[in-house]
Chain A
Amino acid sequence: LPTSISNQGYAQFSTVARIQAGVLGLYATVRSGASFGGRYIEADEAKGDNWINATSNGITDYNTWREANTSNDTEVVGLWGQCYLSINDCNLFIDGMAASGSAVLGNATLTNNYVAEARFLRALNYFALLNMYCQPYAVSNGASPGVPLRLTGNSSAGDYTLAPATVAQVYTQIISDLTFAEANLPLAYFTTGTTLDATSNTTRASRNTAIALSTRVYLAKGDYANVITQANKIVTLTAPFTATTGVPYALQANIANVFKTPYTTTESVFSLPFTTAETPGTQNQLATYFVNTTGEFYINASSQLFTDPNWRATDARRGLTKVSGTKTYSNKYPTGSPYTDWAPVMRYSEVLLNLAEARVNVNGVADLQAIALLNAVRQRSDPGAPAIIPTIANILEERNIEFLAEGKRWLDLWRLHMDIPAKGATIGVLPATAPAYIWPMSATEQVYNPAIGR
């Protein structure tokens, strides 16, 4: 085919330009509407308690929302496949760089930069798989079944039967990847000289991106000391909180700026770009799930989030919702067809709240930095709001308000092994011990990988 390259003799690594395009390809796969560009965020939100499903459409997370998943569900099969497609692309890239690409580049630093990007993305995918398909680390300290750990690239027909690793083993690999990434990613991307390349700094991983993601991973693992160690590298001790080396992360004065063009603020730690030529694809777009007034989901009016007196009418984050009739929707992704709003993976405010939560866990609610961090996020959007005490509940609630429709609610419930609260009148509380708490294993994986178990 005219635009195809055979892998014979590592032709896909034969020029510097191809290697660079190969790196971007890894991001493009992660950006897919089937995972981080849409479906992962949507599934995470649907599983949480903030939404009411409007369409009962089995294709668009209805079963996830009502906690009645089967292993054949579109979302269950789809995310699994897309994450592993991405993981394999990363593995093929890492293998190919060792076998051929590094010699072509002739630049050890650049080679390590690229491999670090691949390992960062691999870690991101593995963490998403843990989040949706596995028990949290808190359950039996990671001894429960994880997912198959695949670390070498698969490029032809073969026998790919492989048993899952434990949750702890997968965490170890994720942390290893992020550690490598932190050590080898560039400090920042520059357009020329010392002019920061805001676009690349948002759409590609730099050292600080890996550090930021590691705070999420350590927090999920309950390793608070490491959350603090890592966050300290990119968060100053006192407000205004910023990253002083690498990409200069900082909160935006107005949160709304994060969700509009050019989407490349210093708060956007990592976002995935969409353009008129690169779209998330039908039934993947965030807007059709949470934003459209005929969307798949509207805000659960009886949820803790929506009934929270601390989420005041003056809060700028209320401005990121919109009311239509009796229903309230999110408005974080307002751009209609062809849906070019960028998909956020991580924002700086999450790093601040991760650090706050870790410090409270280590030092208690009197921790001054924790208080400052929580209220920095809160008062950024509601400057008149009284400061609140950083109890874990308050931090979680702040996260819930801050990250609505960004795919963090289930992540928080899961990592703390909390019950899923009721969703309106029809879906009751789901205990954390219920079998339906986590997604079942992808049915196709079960059919073609007899070693998968479950």
Chain B
Amino acid sequence: QSRTITGTVTGKDDGAPIPGVTVVVAGTKSGVTTNGSGSYTIKVPSGPQSLVFTSIGYLKKTEKITGSILNVSLESDTKSLAEVQVVGYGTTTKRANVGNIATVKGSEVVEQPVQNFQQALGGRAPGAQITIANGVSNTTPVFRIRGTNSISLSSQPLFVVDGVTVFAGDYGNESGGSALSNIDPNDIESIDIAKDGAATAIYGSQGANGVVFITTKKGKKGTAVISVNAYTGVTNVSRLPQVLNAAQYVALKNEAMVNAGVYSAATVPASGFGHAGFTTDASGNQVDTKWADLVYHTGKTYNVSTSISGGTEKTTYYGSANWSSQEGIIRRDAYKNKGMNFNIDHKANKYITLGMKVSYVDQLSLAAVTSGSLAGEQYATAGLGREALLLPPDISPYNADGSYNTNGAGMGTQGNVGSAYGTIAYTNPVSALALDRANAEISHTSANVYLQVKPTPWITLKTLYGADIIFNTADSFTNPITNYVSGVNTASALAFESTNKRYVWDNTAQFDHTFFGKHNFSLLLGNEQRGTNTNSFQLNRSVLSDPAFNVIQAGYSTTTYGGGGIGVNYLVSFFGRLNYNFDEKYFLSGTIRRDGYSGFGADKKYGYFPGFGASWVVDKEKFWDNMHFDKVFSSLKLRGSYAQVGNSNVGDFGSYTLYSASGLYNGQGTVLPSSTGNDKLGWETSKKTDIGFTVGFFKDRLTLDAAAYYNNINGLLYNVPAPPSAGLASNPLVNVGSMWNKGLEFDLNASIIQNSSFRWTANFNISFNQNKITALATGINQYTSGTTTSEITNISQVGYSIGNLWMIRSAGVDPNNGRRIWINAAGTKVEYAPTGTTATPTQKWYYMDGTAAPAITQAADAVNYANSTPKAYGGFSNTFSYKGFDLNILCTYQLGFSVYYGTQATLTDQRFWNNSTIILNHWTTPGQTAQYPQVYYGDNVSNGTGLPSDFNVYKGDFLKLKTVNFGYTIPKNITSKVNISNLRVFVSAQNLAIITKYPGPDPEVSAGGTGNSTQGIDRNTAANARVITAGISLKF
């Protein structure tokens, strides 16, 4: 005899139905789960019974059956220690985890107009510093977990998606191409950032930079829930430097020419004024070109994501599709994405579970021409970020006859005349934007299958095979108009293809058992094998036959092989983890991994990576309650860990001494040593120590996570120079250096107001990091680096932080003569006279008493000037909800660092380049105190172009209104009438405002990309975008 009970489960806070709640008859194992609209139907034996309702994130509730309908509302489990966290090869709860893992919920990164989820992580998690390097679409952010942890190898973390370590590099061409943009943020369940030794030790030689686990959504039991999330919006450039208009430009350049003595009315046509002069367009108007308006525009963004999720007792599934078209701030820079994702899990019987996942994304990274913003592009003469600023405003992109203004590969000077004015070697950005292309297409497939067997309830055996495959093509064309040089159409095309394949096979056995009631053991044993193959080649073709064709297949007179590569590596690992806890009070965890990696040298193929952690849940102690601490402190957990992990990003063949068979001697092939290897090439060792605590106040309405860490890195790889007389073909990578990072992290979460209609939760996190290099190679105590070889901007010295700014000091402008004063290595002032010669008496360089001085050079006179990585960073997030309204505001900040505003050197250069309006404050009369020296045409020294100087360095500290998301959920009683279970409309904004003293567009910038030693450089880089979107999200 049984009866049927039905009901709906809702959340106590918002009244929304909760799907997937397990409903079990008390004392039995028979149960059901709620469907997509939160309702359930269960058969219950007669007699007085209770139902038990459990769901992750909610407090367990037991309710007596009083009739045939039983509706319940569940209270959220605000105890943060109950949160599920993903760890390597498994999951745990925050309470049981001895490691330091920051969890970001998928809901925190959705609805944001980002191309890859990393871009939305900034400020969300302590210890994770995210810097968006530039305003190019789908750029790969600088992602540092607890500081920069390597010199020669990548410092980006390891990314593990659903258990498979994946490619995370950039596969774009002139637009960004982050491999991780294949994951639609809507599909992300959670992001867990493993920071300390205990959490990363299970990844052994790959754990040094931290591990980021991405867990994608899985199906939930119940009828299918269909959700649609769509938004559209606009993207704008903001805070561009103000440049001179045509009139100001002509006046300034002519003043500079007079000062330089090159101005001569006799040599100038009567129509002109000086050597710089106005241009008139076809309709007779004076040209005043705002190049920034021709380079930047308001981009349009569209994004639609849909998903279906559901399942039965045995089978659950989740499928999604995503279409995205996001234009960048630079014209023709765009990201177009079409993605599909599907996973299914099936419980075949009591013992066997199996499932699979497949996702396929086709992604176009579109651009016309270089933005000049990606690493290494800062001095490209076609770089749009720079061209938008430096091109003269008194010339037009067009000639009066409507044709493009070109002169060889550069532009015509139009109204500006005279050999002293010079020629414009910069390409016409308008013709380039119209006719060039520099696109990439990324086809990214990620898939895995698994089989899990539970022969007994306490043994779980699992095998998982995963693949991550990227086919990447790049397609570039430079047009025949700007490349019509001396009668020859040198238009060129480039094609590049690469395949990148990775296979991972994991086999794990997990044993969970409790002895004597309180001794809980969990043992994981596993094996992983991972193989990676890459293969690429490039074709360059030039001198186009028929300008009408612009594909690589067209007729060209020159075809050359543009290089390529083949890479193979293999990793085999065995690992184990033993967790023990006594009564959920004392937790111990020990991990060991043995890695064998093909990239290491012959003598160092294998290594062991141990880790230990312990924690103590103090609030479970009797004395805690006895001493009435529980009145204030609702929870307290102490935690500590130590581990040795490695950085294995050594490249596939770095250990080998290679001979090249590519050279010739009088037409015959040669074989010659081409690079020098190192049989002892090994991983860099990170010894990570972490202690911390988590404390909750007032029933965990307020929680504080605090951690202190020390990461001592030894065996840093460095290309160690040998004496030249050793005759080595190259400087081999040797494990020689050492460095440490130490820091503090605080993460404060507060549920400030929680009532049925109004809720306010807040998170504040701050991380402090300090870095110091303690050793480089023998005989070497520093090295310098720059964004390109054209400009060296950073120095890394033993005893200092990595990648500090390396600047020449200055002492303003001499009021007497309007010349720049520098300070040389000895601390003596040295002036520069652009009019001087190297011969006496008028020196170019002289001391304040007029005697000749050696020229100021960076090598001789620059100092270790300031740190370029922030000393503190974090975020402050507030979430409000009132009835149907919700509002989330995230502010991010980075503090205690300096930025070299190299663009300002560009903007004050006294060649034909246009200048920032700050140049108007320049010296003209003796006695005047001015910010800038007397202008002198051709002077590219006084502004710091070739001499990175302190007057172009600014504090980068900023507070950014990073994200604002405001939504309204239409009341259920309305939407349910049209069978919509949830309908929300929202508006969202990114980078809405910034508080900073930095004068450039954005101090959150990295012209050096993700490089370790080239942070803090803003050189000719396109600024971050401001994006405003509006959207709708609905569930059926």
Contact with A along B626-663 (1 / 0, CB 8 A): 00000000000000000000000000010011111111
The digit string for B718-749, where 1 denotes a CB below 8 A from any CB of A, is 00111111111100111000000000000000
The reply to whether A7 and B728 form a contact with Cβ atoms under 8 Å apart is no
The number of residues on chain A lying at the interface, defined by a beta carbon within 8 Å of a beta carbon of chain B, is 56
Whether the Cβ atoms of B658 and A31 lie closer than 8 Å is no
Given contacts A8-B656, A27-B665, A80 and B724 within 8 Å (CB-CB): yes
Hey, which chain B residues are within 8 Å of A158, CB to CB? 722, 726
Once bound together, how far apart are the Cα atoms of A91 and B658, in whole Å? 16
Q: How far is the CB of B996 from chain A (nearest CB, A)?
A: 41
Cβ proximity bits A17-29 to B, threshold 8 Å, 1 near / 0 not: 0100110111111
Write out the residue numbers on chain B whose beta carbons fall within 8 Å of the beta carbon of A277.
Answer: 664, 667
Question: In the complex the two chains form, what is the Cα distance from A7 to B663 in whole Å?
Answer: 17
**How far does the Cβ of A274 sit from chain B's closest Cβ, in whole Å?**
9
> Which residues of the partner chain A approach B733 to less than 8 Å between Cβ atoms?
157
Q: From residue B718, how far is it (CB to closest CB) to chain A in Å?
A: 11
Pick the 4 closest A-B CB pairs, nearest first. Answer: A88-B727, A449-B723, A25-B670, A160-B726
Can you sample 28 A-B contacts with CB below 8 Å? A1-B658, A4-B661, A4-B674, A6-B657, A6-B658, A21-B661, A21-B671, A25-B663, A25-B672, A29-B672, A77-B724, A80-B724, A84-B727, A155-B673, A156-B676, A156-B678, A156-B679, A156-B732, A157-B677, A157-B678, A157-B720, A157-B732, A162-B725, A275-B664, A278-B665, A444-B721, A444-B723, A445-B724
Instruction: Please indicate which of the listed interface residues A87, A155, A452 has the most CB atoms of chain B within 10 Å of its own CB.
Output: A155
List A contacts of B15 (CB < 8 A). Answer: none
Interface contacts beyond A12-B659, A27-B665, A444-B724: sample of 6 additional A-B pairs, CB < 8 Å, sorted by A: A24-B666, A28-B672, A150-B726, A155-B657, A156-B657, A161-B723
Tell whether, in the assembled complex, residue A157 and residue B672 are in contact, meaning their CB atoms are under 8 Å apart: no
Give Cα A120–Cα B137 distance, bound, in whole angstroms.
58
* A160 surroundings in chain B (CB, below 8 A): 722-723, 725-726, 728
Q: How far is the CA of A85 from the CA of B566 in the complex (A)?
A: 27
Kindly list chain B residues whose C-beta atoms are within 8 Å of the C-beta of A89: 672-673, 727
Report the interface size for chain B: residues with CB under 8 A from the other chain: 44
CB of A2 closer than 8 Å to a CB of B: yes
Cα distance A1–B651 in the bound complex, in angstroms: 12
Asked if B517 lies at the interface with its beta carbon under 8 angstroms from chain A, I say no
Asked whether any CB of chain B lies closer than 8 Å to the CB of A86, the reply is yes
Interface positions of A (Cβ within 8 A of B): 1-8, 11-12, 18, 21-22, 24-29, 31, 77, 80-81, 84-89, 91-92, 147-148, 150, 154-158, 160-162, 199, 203, 273, 275, 277-278, 442, 444-445, 447-450, 452
The residue of chain A having its C-beta at the shortest distance from the C-beta of B680 within the complex is: A157
**Cross-chain contact A12 with B671 (CB below 8 angstroms):** yes
**Interface SS majority for chain B:** loop
B564 contacts partner chain A, Cβ-Cβ < 8 Å: yes
Known contacts A155-B673, A278-B666; A449/B725 CB under 8 A: yes
For B674, the chain A residues whose CB sits under 8 A away are 4
Is the CB of B565 closer than 8 A to any CB of chain A?
yes
Q: What CA separation (Å) do A447 and B732 show in the bound complex?
A: 17
Closest to A446 in B: B723
Inside 8 A of A4's CB, which chain B residues have their CB? 653, 658-661, 674-675
Q: Is the CB of B671 within 8 A of A25?
A: yes
A150–B658 CB distance below 8 A? no
A25–B662 Cα distance when bound, in Å, is 10
Tell whether, in the assembled complex, residue B727 and residue A85 are in contact, meaning their CB atoms are under 8 Å apart: yes
Q: Is B779 an interface residue (CB 8 A)?
A: yes
A420 CB to nearest B CB, Å: 25
Q: Is B285 an interface residue (CB 8 A)?
A: no
Complex Cα spacing A148 to B565, Å: 37
Distance between Cα atoms of A209 and B681 in the complex (Å): 43
Interface residues of B in 179-197 (CB under 8 A from A): none
When the two chains form their complex, are residues A5 and B659 in contact, meaning their CB atoms are under 8 A apart? Answer: yes
Q: Contact: B668 with A154, CB < 8 Å? A: no
Interface contact B565-A2, CB-CB below 8 Å: yes
Q: Please name all residues of chain A whose beta carbon is closer than 8 Å to the beta carbon of B663 when the two chains form the complex.
A: 25, 28
Are A21 and B669 in contact (CB-based, < 8 A)?
yes
Who on chain B is nearest to A30 by CB? B665
Cross-chain contact of B725 among A8, A80, A203 (Cβ < 8 A): A80
Contacts of A2 in B (CB 8 A): 564-566
Contacts A1-B565, A4-B661, A442-B724; A157 near B670 (Cβ below 8 A): no
Query: Which residues of the other chain, B, contact A147 by a CB distance below 8 angstroms?
Result: 725
**What residue in chain B is nearest A442 (Cβ atoms)?**
B724
Q: A139 to B301: give the CA distance in the assembly, Å.
A: 80
A203 to B666, CA, bound (A): 8
- The minimal Cβ–Cβ distance linking A12 to chain B, given in whole angstroms, is 4
B668–A24 CB distance below 8 A: yes
For A4, A273, A450, the residue with the greatest tally of chain B CB atoms inside 10 Å of its CB is: A4
Cα–Cα distance between A29 and B669 once the two chains are bound (Å): 13
Min C-beta distance of A346 to chain B, whole Å: 17
Partner of A92, one of B661, B664, B673, B680: B673
Docked CA distance A447–B728 (Å)? 16
Bound: A160/B661 CA distance, A? 27
Q: What's the least CB distance linking A272 to chain B, in Å?
A: 9
**Residues in chain B near residue A87, CB distance under 8 A:** 727
Report which residue of B657, B666, B677, B725 has the largest number of chain A beta carbons within 10 angstroms of its beta carbon.
B725
| CB <8 Å contact, A448 and B779 | yes
A448/B672 in contact, CB under 8 A: no
